[in-house]
Chain A
Amino acid sequence: MSENKKWYSLDLGLNKKKGSSGSCGCGKTEGGCNSHKEELSAEEFYEAAINASIGEERHKDGFEQVFDVKMDRRTAFKKLTASLLIGAGAVSTSCSLTTSGDAKEKAQIDWEEQFKGNYKLMTDDEKKKTVDRLMRSYELRTGKNISMTAENAAEDVLFGYAFNISKCQGYMDCVSACVEENNQDRNSEMQYIRIHEMKDGEGFKFDKADDNYYHEVPQEGHFYMGTQCFHCDDPPCVDVCPVQATWKEEDGLVVIDYDWCIGCRYCMAACPYDGRRFNWSKPEVPENEVNKNQHYLGNRMRKKGVMEKCTFCVQRTRKGKNPACVEACPTGARIFGNLLDPNSSIRWVLENKKVFRLKEDLGTEPKFWYFMD
């Protein structure tokens, strides 16, 4: 794979495989193999075994893993069919004299969107182009305008969150605000935030807690605490994604490229906090309730079969605002801020209150702390 080829290249097995690269059997690229003893250590054996089975694939980025593989013609054509269908549609509409300009433009947009690269690898210019296409596409489909941005992480910012368990009263204004802000599917009643109602004196028992209550709150003898995506600093969901459709941004947000996600739900299984959600059906939001201030990595409309989750409202926080849940909370139980700024409220909480995180021993390093008055 040459350096400047950024996206993908189809290898139909016509090119003979060239001699193996400079790396030696032990998987090291630097230092001679001579320094090693004859028998392999457990770790070296593990490395060698992986190299033998999947080899190069480990070092490839998502798109290459899928497209830069050797395959016979039959498989290659099979795999191409889906894209060809779109292509055929695009060609038939764009070559036809009877279709309108709008339809042609729509087909052109669909074509370009289908073959765009992973957002993580895009230049700012490419990000802007895809965002413009998505806005235009929405306009063509619905006749309404949305504003979508692709702001990058700001410098010297690391987002963190604190949740005051003694303040939360279980009003769920945060849940409601989150659903509205993030255009979550109304049919499946998707919620990024769960508020758990727990019995006093029993501690954190998530299996016994009720996160779907509908009675007056706060209930006598109960306390409330919320969970959502904790934006781990060492996120297991990112490690397991086979196509690198989810990653950690510079400001600490763990985000998803909805157009890159293949819906395998590995990340959902890997998350120890139940922070991820899957779209089993096409998400639907009534047109008049759609939040039109969107971010590519945030609340833009998702499609069927992709993952989504809390993004700390990237569309708001990268403009300097607080996430919608923080703003909506009537009790002030939610604190959000810049962990790198020693003058921020979140830092004051971390340094002056007794804080803890969930399942700290897993080493996922969540950037979401709980505290009490």
Chain B
Amino acid sequence: MKNKNLTYYALLFLIIVLSSCKNEGEYHSVSDRIKAEEKPYHGTLTSEELLAGRDLIKITEGEHTFLIPERKSQIKSFACIECHSKPLSQMKGTDKAKAHWDITINHANIETMDCATCHNGEDMNNLKSLTGRNIDFNLSYKLCAQCHTTQFEDWKGGAHGKKISGWTPPRASMTCVECHNPHDPGFKQRWPAQFNTKKAIERNEGLDH
């Protein structure tokens, strides 16, 4: 009797196993499909066209190699030594001291950071790490990564920040300073962009610009 029952159970089990099998190309979950079909993408679609005409630098951080935009040519008053011909200590008190009047630091607090935390008073053309080593303006992310380590990890992997490229290789990521003003890095409160509502009102009032 017991044996008969066991046979039935075994049969039932077999039927369930067989009937739950899916056809080829069908998967139980999307993660199964990803596991089964994964393959580094070398297709015809690329981001080359999107990146054409942009000045990019290739960097390797850990196991990630990708492109970032060149920065120095985007800085209005670069090179710094065009004005900073003498060390900072000797320039104090001259009228040139007001040159950077529009910069107020709103980044951590004064006990943690001041201008000299990142800028090198002896060599204004370069940034400076916490240990006093030079950091190129093009690689300013290294400066941020000294404190913001988790963000740096996410950025390397592609989870933090934005891309210049599309989803296709080669990957080109924006650096920290493309979105965050290094002197005031927080995002500000503002009105949301509501395309329809605003546009509709503008159109009714003839303010279409």
Chain A residues at the B interface, C-beta cutoff of 8 Å: 154-159, 162, 164, 167, 169-173, 175-177, 179-180, 186, 189, 191, 195, 213-218, 233, 286, 316-322, 329-332, 335-349, 352-353, 365, 367, 371, 373
Query: Are B45 and A329 closer than 8 Å at their CB atoms?
Result: no
Query: Are B38 and A342 closer than 8 Å at their CB atoms?
Result: yes
- Cβ of B123 to closest chain A Cβ, rounded Å: 32
Interface positions of B from 149 to 180, Cβ below 8 Å from A = 150-151, 154, 157-163, 166-169, 171, 179
A336-B167, A339-B34 given; name 11 further pairs at CB < 8 Å: A169-B187, A171-B190, A177-B195, A233-B29, A318-B45, A320-B50, A330-B187, A345-B163, A348-B158, A373-B151, A373-B160
- Cβ of B193 to closest chain A Cβ, rounded Å: 4
Chain B residues at the A interface, C-beta cutoff of 8 Å: 27, 29-30, 33-34, 37-41, 43-47, 49-50, 150-151, 154, 157-163, 166-169, 171, 179, 187, 189-197, 199-200, 203
Contact status of A154 and B45, CB under 8 A, knowing A186-B199, A233-B30, A367-B30: yes
Residue of B nearest to A162 (CB): B159
Contact status of A175 and B195, CB under 8 A, knowing A233-B30, A320-B50: yes
Main secondary structure on B side of the interface with A: loop
Contact status of A157 and B197, CB under 8 A, knowing A321-B166, A331-B187, A373-B154: no
Contact partner of A340 among B27, B37, B196, CB < 8 A? B37
A residues in contact with B168, CB < 8 Å: 320, 338
Cα separation A342 to B41 with both chains bound (whole Å) = 8
- Cβ of B34 to closest chain A Cβ, rounded Å: 5
Query: Are A373 and B44 closer than 8 Å at their CB atoms?
Result: no
Going nearest first, the 8 A-B pairs with the smallest beta carbon separation are A345-B158, A176-B195, A320-B45, A348-B157, A320-B168, A172-B192, A321-B166, A341-B41
Cα separation A176 to B161 with both chains bound (whole Å) = 20
Residue of A nearest to B37 (CB): A340
- Cβ of B160 to closest chain A Cβ, rounded Å: 6
A residues in contact with B30, CB < 8 Å: 158, 233, 339, 365, 367
Contact status of A373 and B150, CB under 8 A, knowing A171-B190, A349-B159: yes
Query: Are B190 and A216 closer than 8 Å at their CB atoms?
Result: yes
Cα separation A286 to B157 with both chains bound (whole Å) = 41
Cross-chain pairs A/B with CB under 8 angstroms, 13 sampled = A155-B43, A158-B34, A158-B37, A171-B190, A176-B195, A179-B196, A189-B197, A214-B194, A216-B190, A320-B166, A321-B50, A321-B167, A340-B38
Residue of A nearest to B154 (CB): A373
Cα separation A242 to B60 with both chains bound (whole Å) = 52
Cα separation A367 to B31 with both chains bound (whole Å) = 10
Query: Are B194 and A172 closer than 8 Å at their CB atoms?
Result: yes
B residues in contact with A344, CB < 8 Å: 41, 158, 167
Contact status of A218 and B44, CB under 8 A, knowing A322-B166, A330-B179: no
Contact status of A349 and B158, CB under 8 A, knowing A154-B44, A320-B47, A330-B179: yes
B residues in contact with A213, CB < 8 Å: 192
A residues in contact with B34, CB < 8 Å: 158, 339-340, 347
Residue of A nearest to B193 (CB): A176
- Cβ of A230 to closest chain B Cβ, rounded Å: 11
Cα separation A36 to B191 with both chains bound (whole Å) = 68
B residues in contact with A233, CB < 8 Å: 27, 29-30, 33
Cα separation A316 to B33 with both chains bound (whole Å) = 24
Q: Which of B157, B171, B197, B203 has the most CB of A within 10 A?
A: B157
A residues in contact with B159, CB < 8 Å: 162, 164, 335, 345, 348-349, 352-353, 371
Cα separation A337 to B163 with both chains bound (whole Å) = 11
Residue of B nearest to A217 (CB): B192
- Cβ of A87 to closest chain B Cβ, rounded Å: 39
- Cβ of B20 to closest chain A Cβ, rounded Å: 14
Query: Are A176 and B46 closer than 8 Å at their CB atoms?
Result: no
Query: Are B193 and A175 closer than 8 Å at their CB atoms?
Result: yes
Contact status of A176 and B39, CB under 8 A, knowing A169-B187, A233-B29: no
Residue of A nearest to B203 (CB): A286
Cα separation A317 to B29 with both chains bound (whole Å) = 23
Residue of A nearest to B46 (CB): A320
Query: Are B43 and A156 closer than 8 Å at their CB atoms?
Result: yes
B residues in contact with A159, CB < 8 Å: 167
Query: Are A335 and B158 closer than 8 Å at their CB atoms?
Result: yes
- Cβ of A40 to closest chain B Cβ, rounded Å: 16
Query: Are A343 and B40 closer than 8 Å at their CB atoms?
Result: yes
Query: Are A172 and B167 closer than 8 Å at their CB atoms?
Result: no
Cα separation A226 to B195 with both chains bound (whole Å) = 16
A residues in contact with B150, CB < 8 Å: 373
Query: Are B194 and A175 closer than 8 Å at their CB atoms?
Result: yes
Contact partner of A341 among B38, B157, B187, CB < 8 A? B38
Query: Are A172 and B193 closer than 8 Å at their CB atoms?
Result: yes
Residue of A nearest to B174 (CB): A332
Residue of B nearest to A343 (CB): B40
- Cβ of B203 to closest chain A Cβ, rounded Å: 8
Query: Are A341 and B200 closer than 8 Å at their CB atoms?
Result: no
Query: Are A338 and B167 closer than 8 Å at their CB atoms?
Result: yes
Residue of B nearest to A348 (CB): B157
Residue of A nearest to B168 (CB): A320
Residue of A nearest to B196 (CB): A189
Q: Which of A189, A195, A345 has the most CB of B within 10 A?
A: A345
